Amino acid sequence: MRILILGGIGEAVRLTQRLAPVHTVTYSVAGKGRALDLPCPTRMGGFGGAAGLAAFLSENGIELLIDATHPYAAQISRNAAQAAQATSIPLWACRRPAWRPQPGDDWRGVADWAGIVAALRDFRRPFFTMGLEPLRHAAEIPLEQHWLVRCLAAEPLATPRLTLLCAAGPFALEQELVLLRESRVDVLVAKNSGGDAVAAKLAAARQLHVPVVMLERPTLPKAEREFAEIERLAVAITNYQSF
Ligand code: NAP
């Protein structure tokens, strides 16, 4: 089967490694990132919206489109749904289940950046683990706050009230506890990404009674079939009757 996998996260890479030996797979990422050792062609960069993706699907004879992107990558998921509809190519999705608060957690849900700013008003040392967005607001850091921002990679910033930490997960609980304590973090800001790789920060926050400002997930379009785990998706492809 000719499959296009929209990726950009670890599960998508693992799914590709699993499917590529058996199917004709193309793995697609938004831009240049870490070099990937994949047994199939990798396509880098956008398609040019839903219409561009639809054209790619048709021109390359794709028979199954798999959305295995991050739960906050809403635009590409919308494009995938539109392109699948326009071309009548089936769309399957891997949707990571969201984390749920556990006893002892103090989570405060917010919808957007303005909600984050409002929720942080009473705190002094927020720890942001939500990608690059805080860096775009570095000039707006309130005088009484110091920000710790952890992201995959970023240009260094000459802002004395911001500490930038470029690091890729997974992160161990002990590591997160040390970071929160040594940086005197009084609130954690996170996306509800789900999965295990970066979940230890939540356990650390619980243990240290640090509240969590949680950016709510965007609403994603429905796919024809949705799977919480790549293993189930891979098995379903094997059992796919039409092929
Ligand atoms: P987004 O806002 O949903 O997408 C923006 C644009 O980037 C899309 O319209 C598309 O461009 C292009 N794009 C995104 N994913 C692509 C893919 N897999 N293959 C080809 N083009 C893609 O996405 P985002 O939030 O910026 O995330 C970008 C990528 O990083 C995603 O692949 C996602 O899986 C990964 N990622 C995102 C997060 C996050 O928190 N958002 C975290 C970890 C990893 P065109 O319209 O030109 O096709």
Q: Are residues 193 and 119 in the same domain?
A: yes
Instruction: Kindly give the distance from the C-alpha atom of residue 240 to the centroid of ligand 1, in angstroms, as a whole number.
Output: 28
194 close to ligand 1 (CB < 6 Angstrom): no
Quote the pLDDT of residue 37. Answer: 84
Quote the pLDDT of residue 200. Answer: 98
115 close to ligand 1 (CB < 6 Angstrom): no
Q: Are residues 233 and 161 in the same domain?
A: no
Residue 69 counted as domain residue: yes
Residue 119 counted as domain residue: yes
State the residue range of the domain holding 207.
107-215
User: How much of the chain, in percent, has pLDDT values that exceed 90?
Assistant: 91
Q: Are residues 91 and 131 in the same domain?
A: no
Residue 166 has pLDDT above 90, yes or no: yes
What tens digit of pLDDT does each residue of 91-108 get? 999 999 999 999 999 999
DSSP β-ladder status, 187-191 and 126-129: parallel
Q: Are residues 123 and 211 in the same domain?
A: yes
29 close to ligand 1 (CB < 6 Angstrom): yes
Instruction: Kindly give the distance from the C-alpha atom of residue 73 to the centroid of ligand 1, in angstroms, as a whole number.
Output: 5
Residue 243 has pLDDT above 80, yes or no: no
Q: Are residues 44 and 114 in the same domain?
A: no
Q: Are residues 65 and 45 in the same domain?
A: yes
Q: Are residues 196 and 127 in the same domain?
A: yes
Q: Are residues 83 and 121 in the same domain?
A: no
Residue 2 has pLDDT above 80, yes or no: yes
- Residues 151-169, mean pLDDT to the nearest whole number: 91
Q: Are residues 194 and 123 in the same domain?
A: yes
Supply the mean pLDDT for the chain. Answer: 95
Residue 142 counted as domain residue: yes
Q: In the structure, what pLDDT confidence band is assigned to residue 4 with cuts at 50, 70 and 90?
A: very high
Mutate to test the pocket of ligand 1, among 26, 69, 149, 152 (most ligand atoms within 8 A of CB): 69
Instruction: Kindly give the distance from the C-alpha atom of residue 210 to the centroid of ligand 1, in angstroms, as a whole number.
Output: 31
Q: Are residues 7 and 56 in the same domain?
A: yes
Q: Are residues 133 and 205 in the same domain?
A: yes
Instruction: Kindly give the distance from the C-alpha atom of residue 35 to the centroid of ligand 1, in angstroms, as a whole number.
Output: 17
Q: In the structure, what pLDDT confidence band is assigned to residue 36 with cuts at 50, 70 and 90?
A: confident
Residue 223 counted as domain residue: yes
Residue 195 counted as domain residue: yes
- Residues 70-78, mean pLDDT to the nearest whole number: 97
The domain tally of the chain equals: 2
Quote the pLDDT of residue 67. Answer: 98
CATH number of the domain at 160, please: 3.40.50.720
Q: In the structure, what pLDDT confidence band is assigned to residue 156 with cuts at 50, 70 and 90?
A: confident
- Residues 202-206, mean pLDDT to the nearest whole number: 98
CATH number of the domain at 92, please: 3.40.50.11190
Q: Are residues 82 and 139 in the same domain?
A: no
What tens digit of pLDDT does each residue of 191-203 get? 999 999 899 999 9
